[in-house]
Amino acid sequence: MTSSKTPVALLISGRGSNATALIRAAAQKDFPARICLVISNNPTALGLNVAQAEGIPTQVIDHRPFRKDRVAHEEAIQNALINAGAQVVCLAGYMRLLTDFLTQAWAGRMLNIHPSLLPSFPGLHTHERALKAGVRIHGCTVHLVTEIMDEGRILGQAAVPVFIHDTVESLAHRVLIQEHLLYPQVLRHFLTQHPPSLTGSSLLIA
Ligand code: GAR
């Protein structure tokens, strides 16, 4: 049976709660994506268990045997993505910096979720930095991935208040709840407004 759903692959490194949110959304009949593969660079990523429990193919592509050869690691990822027939890739807590090799191969078709309101707080430790900066509003962003970290076109954002007595944990928890809502919503919109071309290697976003 052919499906009109777009095959989407997920890249994870750990807990996989955003991957879980996407997997659950994609299980809905009217959601425009089906998750065709979950790849982790970390063999012990908890997110792999969730995917397997849902019957989704998983693959561990550990970066460590590749040592410093990041491109060779990404070539292995690219082979897996192509074999799985992925048309769109969602980074969901994938904690490795990508080289131009993968970002260019998936230009316009690779999304990432970041735990801050970009362009504020790119990089790591976003909640700690938001608290230190004294911002009153914080949140998360889904954006297209480019060669520059956390810089691609913003596709959607969700904001939360920062309270006086917040800790890193309480703030992270508030943001994460929004991440789980935002990512499926943005992916749905992305696929229905800008369905990926079956033939082209990149997608133009109007
Ligand atoms: C999420 O908060 C995600 O936004 C963040 O890592 C966490 C992964 O959690 N991603 C980044 O910081 C990417 N730079 P999850 O594995 O439970 O989805």
Residue 73 CA neighbour count, 13 Å, CB half: 20
pLDDT score recorded for residue 42: 98
Task: Catalytic residue, from 114, 127, 138, 180: name it.
Answer: 114
Which H or E run includes 110? strand 110-114
Please state, as a whole number, how many other Cβ atoms lie within 10 Å of the Cβ of residue 186: 21
| 63-99 confidence digits (pLDDT tens) | 999 999 999 999 999 999 999 999 999 999 999 999 9
Numbered ranges of CATH 3.40.50.170 in the chain: 1-106, 113-206
Q: How many CB atoms lie within 10 A of CB 13?
A: 18
Instruction: Tell me, in angstroms, the distance from the centre of ligand 1 to residue 115's CA.
Output: 7
Nearest residue CA, atom 1 of ligand 1? 93
The residue contributing the CA closest to ligand 1 atom 10 is 93
CATH class, range 1-106: alpha beta
Q: How confident is the model at residue 3 (pLDDT cuts 50, 70, 90)?
A: confident
Architecture of the structural domain at 113-206? 3-Layer(aba) Sandwich (3.40)
Count CB atoms within 10 A of the CB of residue 87.
20
Q: Predicted confidence band at 37 (pLDDT cuts at 50, 70, 90)?
A: very high
